[in-house]
Structure 1
Amino acid sequence: MDGESWRAAADEQAGLLSRRQLNELGVDRWRVRNQIAAGRWAERSPMVISTTTGPLSREQLMWLGVLHAGPEAVVGGLAAAEVAGLRNWHRDEVTVLIPDELEVEDVPGIDFHRTRRAIKLMRRPGPGLPTCRVEPAILLFGAYQRSRRTAQGVVAAAVQQRLTEPEALIHWVNAMRPLRWAPMFRQVIGDIAGGSQSVAELDVVRMCRDQGLSLPDRQLQRIDADGRTRFTDCEWRLSDGRVLVLEVDGSFHMDSQHWEDDLARQRQLSAPDRLMVRCTARELREEPWKVARDLRRLGVPSRAA
């Protein structure tokens, strides 16, 4: 088969090739048909052939999407962030960005997202799977969410997992005008730059703004009683010189092992001049005024007018 010239291209694309590529490599449609009939290859879409059979891997599904849509397409959304290393935000469906004017047939497992934006400017440089840069990928994903918390959460996660930095995100917010929820993104990114590392910490900042409390210091490094380095969620310096520390518990903290670990952490970080208090992420979302009331009673100062 023309010296098996297709093998190198297939190896670079997780075993998938478009019919256009096969034709350019000297593999005509009759040879493709024979390979499929013999059970050695499989048609994955009208445009894409796999040189392997069986279920597609995650990487192969992404290649299927971009090869089916053509050379201008890139993997976008959470799938692109996943390729960049984002953890704990998996979605089964793969998003593929395509030019607005392009018409493509549906492919199971692929969400073809049309955009008028310049895809080539958002594309991650270098060889391999065509993917969107992580910043425009997560910003576009967030901008199309119903929940602002989801949009804020993915931005915070990308920074927390060191896939990007606040400065790069602000650059892309400005470069992608118009962008839905751009003012919210700018505020959230500013809060992240100020030290917030999670949605819960962003909720604390929002609570303080809404309830008139001073903003806390966030993610401060402390040495516990065993000499280990710890990072506290939020801290305020009180008028009597003490420090009040607020730790926010998410749902995973309710697990018995995490619960015991948190109790031990609280003991080890406590000191005569450091008051440790806790609240849940649910309280911050649904009853922030109650948390603010208790913090004010404990001495957290009001925000300067």
Structure 2
Amino acid sequence: MPARTLVPDEALRVASRQESLITTGQCRDAGVSPDVLRRLRRTGSWRHVTRGVHDTEPAPVASRPVDHRRRRAAWAALLAFGPESIAVGPCALALLGVAGLPARVEPQATLPGARSLESRDGIRLRMFDDGMTVTRVGDRYVAAPEWALAQAVPELDRPWAVAVMDSALHLGLLSSDGLARAHDHARGRRGVARTHSWWELADGRAESPLETWVRLDCVDGGVPPDMLQVPLVGSSGRERRGDLGWRLDDGRRVVAEVDGAEFHDTPSAAFADRERHNDLVTADVAALLRLTSSDARVPGCSATIVRRALLAAGRRRAA
């Protein structure tokens, strides 16, 4: 069995701050010699990403957590194009903590004054947007939220585009006025024409991408919710909230809770969930629906469930 190659702790610390990635220069500064670097690459302990960038995590990228993969894409672009590079588009959103991005994010960055396009090993250098503002995440620069959305939304499909706008608003990264400016910044970009109606759908009250996707399905299915984050008082007297609500003619409501957990890990968790569900079935709540990621993945499924519940509960009050 070949001897294990020892990696200096400093190199691992640097890589841990960069989603497992490290540059050749950082390796040198941390005490990783060229011979050791070659050995790590040859044995598969480290992986080649692009010229001068290495991945210290041997596990296949596809097997890693989705959030790590998104941020790793951003770091791959930042490290590939040097210390002056700026994360843009979906990569900037990933580093800003915005939820709702697709599982696969294209690594992309820009450089101050960049006027040419370049791509290597699937990593894209974008032209620098005139007037673009930036913000810091750690010790690196990323496009400010308004600009990151302007760059990202035209490249995304509708569910992801609305989800990232919802998340950015919910996190307080920008205001409704800021979202309007982002829309203005996006005008004229390739792919933006199909997105103009999407910007009006953004709602910062959504607390997860799954809530966004269920809401969009209901909008498309002709049963848009009347309320988000519905305040409720359970039969126990405890104050609770439902994710989406629909008013009925008699003043009662149909309430939907959106649950991303497909399974309960323990009997106690299942009991607590059932107790919460039962507590919310009160005189004011005509029906309490549970919608999951499985429902959200099927176009029309959430809307059909809601429509049936509304019909069963009575005619819906006009908006």
TM-score tier (shorter): 0.5 to 0.7
Partners of 2:73 and 2:276 in 1: how far apart?
43
| Mapped partners of 2:127, 2:185: distance in 1 | 15
Shift >6 Å, 4+ stretches:
13-19, 40-47, 56-61
Q: Which residue of 1 aligns with 2:144?
A: 133
2: CA distance, partners of 1:249 / 1:152: 17
Residues 1:244 and 2:250 aligned together: no
Contact (CA 8 Å) 1:173, 1:185: kept in 2 or not?
Answer: no
User: Residue 269 and residue 165 in structure 1: after superposition, are their counterparts in 2 closer, same or farther (change >3 A)?
Assistant: farther
Q: Which one of the candidate residues 268, 291, 295 is aligned to 2:279? A: 268
Structure with a larger share of its residues in helix: 1
Q: By how many angstroms is 1:129 displaced?
A: 0.8
Change (3 A) 1:291 1:87: closer
Q: Which residue of 2 aligns with 1:301?
A: 316
After TM superposition, the score normalised by the length of structure 1 is 0.65
Residue 292 (str. 1) matches residue 307 (str. 2) = yes
Q: Secondary structure at the match of 1:66?
A: helix
CA positional deviation for 1:261: 3.7
**Matched-pair contact (CA < 8 Å) for 1:78–1:91:** no
SS of the residue aligned with 2:197? helix
The equivalent of 1:182 in structure 2 is 195
Q: Which residue of 2 aligns with 1:80?
A: 92
CA distance in 2, matches of 1:302, 1:139: 37
RMSD: 4.6
Supply the distance in 1 between the matched residues of 2:284 and 2:49 (Cα, whole angstroms): 66
Aligned length: 272
**Within 5 A, what are the aligned runs for 1:95-106?**
95-98=107-110, 99=114, 101-103=116-118, 106=120
Q: 1:95 to 1:226 in 2, by over 3 A?
A: farther
Cα distance, 1:151–1:227 mapped onto 2, change above 3 Å: same
**Could you tell me the percent identity over the aligned residues?**
16
CA apart distance, 1:188: 1.7
CA spacing shift, 1:256–1:272, aligned 2, 3 Å: farther
Answer whether contact 1:205 1:216 (CA < 8 A) is retained. Answer: no
Q: Normalising by the residue count of structure 2, what TM-score does the alignment of the two structures yield?
A: 0.63
Q: CA deviation at 1:265?
A: 1.5
Structure 2's unaligned 5+ residue stretches are 1-13, 42-47, 59-67
Residue ranges of structure 1 left out of the alignment (5+ in a row): 1-10, 20-30
Give, in whole Å, the separation in 1 of the partners of 2:300 and 2:90.
27
Distance between the aligned counterparts of 1:261 and 1:226, measured in 2? 14
How far apart, CA to CA, are the structure 1 residues paired with 2:207 and 2:73? 32
